[in-house]
Amino acid sequence: MDTIPIKDVPEFLERISIYDLVGGTLLFRGQSKRGNLLPGIARKDPKANTTNVEKSMLADLRKHGLTMIPSYVDFENDWDMLVLAQHFGMKTRLLDWTSNALAAIWFACSSKDTDDCYVYTLEADLLMLASLKGSPFSQKKTKVINPSLSNDRIIAQSGYFTAHRFSEKSGKFVALEKNPEVKERLTEYVISGKDKVDFLMTLERCGVTSKSIYPDIEGVCRFLNWRAQGSY
């Protein structure tokens, strides 16, 4: 995985423009911290095989959330339920990505600290899962999925996910930057902490703010915080 510092939004867009020439799907992920590209269920203890825990959590979600699950979700499809659960904050084996480069920069820079932040790109074509008809708990390799759910936030954030697996061979969930089948398709871009506000101001001029990322009242309130205090 290559690491590249970037000084502003135009430089980042210029660096990734090569993919417009070669085609293919390039995904982005913005983070306030470096690396550790693991799904939420694995961050506390990557060596824990959480498969049965996740299955139990999905069963409980179906039971306790029966009247709350939107009609566009296939109740019997584990992939649909996993994406829904991830979206509403349940820890799963999914890791969020986006096809929107500017949205990823926003996620990286919107943290309130002054530390450096990071945008990761992933060349996704050869990692795409062909069908969401099987079980997310039986896949043999880490894959990229393009969810079919029509949730407003997923649409606004141009959402994709990497679907991770517990590796019996390694005895753990393997972070993407350490996965031999994935790491060569990753690039890490570093944004200096002192430049984060400048990046956010450029994004606002491009129409990318919390209002566009979160198309609801939360997004508006976060945007008003930004306008009043210069931070989200």
Is 170 a domain residue? yes
Q: Tell me whether residue 116 is exposed, middle or buried, using C-beta atoms within 10 angstroms of its C-beta: 0 to 12, 13 to 18, 19 or more.
A: middle
CA–CA separation, 174 and 156 (whole Å): 29
Instruction: Using the CB atoms, write b or e for 175-199: b if 16+ within 10 Å.
Output: bbbebeebeebbbbbebeeebbeeb
Tell me, what's the pLDDT at 111? 87
Is 20 a domain residue? yes
CA–CA separation, 197 and 72 (whole Å): 38
Compute the average pLDDT of residues 19-37.
Answer: 91
Is 232 a domain residue? no
Is 102 a domain residue? yes
Domain count, the chain: 1
Domain that holds residue 64: 4-195
Compute the average pLDDT of residues 217-222.
Answer: 78
Query: Is residue 157 predicted with pLDDT exceeding 90?
Result: no
Is 214 a domain residue? no
Tell me, what's the pLDDT at 91? 96
Of 86, 79, 61, 92, the C-alpha closest to 146 is 79
Is 213 a domain residue? no
Per-residue pLDDT reduced to its tens digit, 69-104: 887 788 888 999 999 899 889 999 999 999 999 999
